[in-house]
Amino acid sequence: MFKVSREAAKAGNLREFKTLDLVKRLGVITANRVHLKNYPVENPTTIFNPSLSVENETIRIYLRIVLGYFTYTSAVAMLEAGLSDIYEGYLSVSHYPVELILCPDSEYDFWGIEDPRVYRIDDKLMMTYCGRTVNYFNPAIRVERTLPITAVSKDLKNWRKNYVFRLTKEIRKQVVSDKDAFLLKTKKRELFLFHRPHLTDENFYLAVSKVPIDILEKTDSGLSEVVVTETTVLMNPASFEAKLGWATPPVEVGGGEYLLLVHGVDRRFEGYRVFAVLLSCEEEVRLTAVTPHYIMEPKMSYELYGERPYTVFPCGIQKAANRLLVTYGAADSAVGVGEIEIDKLLPILDRHRLKE
């Protein structure tokens, strides 16, 4: 079905079912302490799976919010805070006003906007999310229930939905869903979509596809379909995992390499843990290193217990000096913020490179 990279099996075979947790927890925020400014219900039912951006001393956290449990339909709201709130411990006790910035309004996201990933390409702030399509709850249609959608920021608070990504027609009828997505533009002017298609063979593919580079010039024409091609599976699950998914957008770490976090779901009771990989991205994307163990697993009470127990689900990452600031969903019931020391993580990856 898809091309499989040379490193896919090798990386899975190197990994062990153990965790060396490198993520320092900095704080947690729950739905009762966020207050919607532009919606008549003051508090969402729950908040989780957030992304982030940092400008100067301001952090913006993009929250997946749910207002009711019946359909679990989500939107995205933005919380602004000073970085001092994170590092001085205020996040876990303070209350914050938030604003809805993206809501379902098309056939591609009618039943919700899930798990935003925010990142920059050139001078544009972008957000790619999982759109629950109009067919999401239709039992007669088990095709393209979710699709990746990218919106472009106009002024931080106002976003325009520009692209919905679909696989080629010959594959499309086998796509149950497509999630965990974001874009990367390389220095060689190649554009790639990282995504996780789920096909009717009941496999989940940690994949990357090519995207026409000229779409970046079309950000004012409304939501349009973009067909992605040359899909390649970069990595297979380890023997102890049911599936993998891209967690955070890439962070450039030098030498033409990018660091990404990946979540792994174990076969026993489907807990979500996190490991790291390095990629080389030029004309093609190559997996170059992988941590042999997880670097984060649920351990705090709010990560162990909630709507989705035993889950840490990072969606946001940003490099700050020698640290990585990470935002993540905790048990589908809270938003966590943590940090990773780059000087601790990169040597582990460097020792576990995938040699030719």
Question: Tell me, what's the pLDDT at 356?
Answer: 62
Work out how many domains the chain is built from and give that number: 1
> Are the C-beta atoms of residues 326 and 338 closer than 8 Å to each other?
yes
120 part of a folded domain: yes
140 part of a folded domain: yes
35 part of a folded domain: yes
Residue 70: CB partners within 8 Å, gap ≥ 6?
none
Report the SS3 class of residue 170.
helix
231 part of a folded domain: yes
CATH classification at residue 237: 2.115.10.20
- 8-state DSSP, 85: H
pTM of the model: 0.96
356 part of a folded domain: no
246 part of a folded domain: yes
70 part of a folded domain: yes
pLDDT tens across the length of the chain (356 residues): 899 988 888 888 889 999 999 999 999 999 999 999 999 999 999 999 999 999 889 999 999 999 998 999 999 999 999 999 999 999 999 999 999 999 999 999 999 999 999 999 998 999 999 999 999 999 999 999 999 999 999 887 889 999 999 999 999 999 999 999 999 999 889 999 999 999 999 999 999 999 999 999 876 778 999 999 999 999 999 999 999 999 999 999 988 899 999 999 999 989 999 999 999 987 789 999 999 999 999 999 999 999 999 999 999 999 988 999 999 999 999 999 999 999 999 999 999 999 76
* Cα→Cα distances 98→47, 49, 63, 66, 332, Å: 11, 16, 9, 13, 19
Question: Tell me, what's the pLDDT at 321?
Answer: 84
Instruction: Print the domain residue range for 73.
Output: 3-351
- DSSP letter string, 208-233: EEEE-GGGGG--SS--EEEE-EEEEE
50 part of a folded domain: yes
